[in-house]
Amino acid sequence: MSVLARDLCADPALLSIAAAQEQAAVLVAGPVEDELVPLRELAGRVSSESVATPTPLPPFDHSAMDGYALAGLGRSHVVRARLAAGAEETPTLVPGEAARILTGAPMPAGAIAVVMQERVRREGDRITLEADVEAGANIRRRGEDVAAGEVIVPAAVRLDARHIAILAAAGVTQARVRRRVRIGVLSTGDELARPGEPLTPGRIHDANRPMLMAILNRPSHEIVDLGVAPDEPAALRRLLLDAAARCDAIVTSGATSVGDEDHLAAAVFAGGGRLELARVALKPGKPVVAGTLRGAVLIGLPGNPFAALVAHVLVGRVALERLAGLAPKPLRPLPASAGFSQKGPGGRTEFAPAALRGVDERGLMVVEKLGRGGSARLAPLIAADGLAVIPAGRADIRIGDPIGFLPFEAAAEL
């Protein structure tokens, strides 16, 4: 059910985070189209289909050690050949024979084990083992990593160095990935000066647009800088409509709340758009809204920078990841121990900049909150290692109580 203009005026119940994430996902009709991209440009892109390996990995039986390939398990062998990695021809050994073999070299026919060179004595063309070896020792078998035809990269994942390595090993030179999602980033507010612009009375520098562009600056995205919109409904509507025609998604900050100059929802409605969610039980980040405008996904983050960050991580991210073709991946806060106490219960799930302060006697990370909850404050984030997570409805918290911790790498991929 869509959000109506009147819902934003009254003080409606807050949506749970889970409900907001569900709404954020379903407002996106589906991922953007896909395209074929060469291996060297795949890092950071999102796979649109699974990839199977055409060859087994490894492709042939080979030695895992520098040593001797043995045709029997006896202690004494005659060395008949030498095999290095890349050897094209291999001899056939008979019992009693061995081949000098280097790591990665193909196993000769008839060989049943490899002994490391440190475990043998060599005199001329004869080797003597210091101890028995087991059949199969130090041989890497064809297909023991993956068999031919097996899936090596699933669909709907962000490709990183691990995927690039296995695709390269399998001889795959290109893959189908989602095209880059065009995301427009807009700040709103008459008080905002551009980075570097001298401040006149009452003005502050725009921090959100550079922050959001930095978070969203990924190989799977193409960022469009939409600048700053004034607190003027018609101008905001024009800017949004122009952006909707050029972008798959628009991420704004500010103008989401109930103040006289908070014109985002009105501009979206006047432009023929819809909002599917508004006001979430998030602290900070409550006034987040999301919907669609002329086919573009619209995410309206709150103006306070930390609130914008939290609302992006918890709500906006879900919609943008679906658009980019990623499978849903819930954030999972790590178990941690409170290094602070506070009164409960809160009606909203709280996210606070937090620093790690060692490990308690149970082995849990001890987390200290920084910044006393100011959603406009940025300095605590600089000193933090991640975000403390305190679920809505939690009773008083005492030192040592279990809480959640989201490291920044997992939260915002900052």
Interface with ligand LQZAQKY5 (CB under 6 A) = 187, 189, 191-192, 204, 206-209, 253-259, 262, 284, 286-287, 302-305, 307, 375-376
- The residue (of 32 and 301) whose beta carbon lies closer to ligand MOO is 301
Is-contact 247 224, C-beta < 8 A? yes
- The residue (of 63 and 304) whose beta carbon lies closer to ligand MOO is 304
- Which option in ligand MOO, ligand LQZAQKY5, none does residue 45 bind, with CB closer than 5 to 8 A by kind? none
- The residue (of 230 and 407) whose beta carbon lies closer to ligand LQZAQKY5 is 230
- The residue (of 40 and 194) whose beta carbon lies closer to ligand LQZAQKY5 is 194
Q: How far apart are CA 402 and CA 360, in angstroms?
A: 11
- The residue (of 53 and 257) whose beta carbon lies closer to ligand LQZAQKY5 is 257
Q: In what order do the strands lie in the sheet with 296-301?
A: 221-229, 181-188, 249-253, 296-301, 289-293, 274-278
- Which option in ligand MOO, ligand LQZAQKY5, none does residue 62 bind, with CB closer than 5 to 8 A by kind? none
* Alpha helices in 217-285, H assignment, sequence order: 233-246, 264-270
Sign of CA dihedral 291, 294, 295, 296: negative
- Using CA atoms of 367, 373, 378, 384 in order, give the dihedral in degrees to the nearest 10: 0
Q: Tell me the three state secondary structure of residue 42.
A: coil
Minimum distance, C-beta of residue 282 to ligand MOO, in the bound complex (Å):
6
- Which option in ligand MOO, ligand LQZAQKY5, none does residue 204 bind, with CB closer than 5 to 8 A by kind? ligand LQZAQKY5
Positions in the binding site for ligand MOO (CB under 6 A): 283-286, 302, 304, 307, 375
CA atoms within 13 A of residue 30's CA, in its CB half-sphere: 3
Minimum distance, C-beta of residue 158 to ligand MOO, in the bound complex (Å):
28
Is-contact 165 180, C-beta < 8 A? no
Minimum distance, C-beta of residue 309 to ligand MOO, in the bound complex (Å):
10
Is-contact 391 331, C-beta < 8 A? no
Q: Quick one: tokens of 38?
A: 């060469």
- The residue (of 140 and 286) whose beta carbon lies closer to ligand LQZAQKY5 is 286
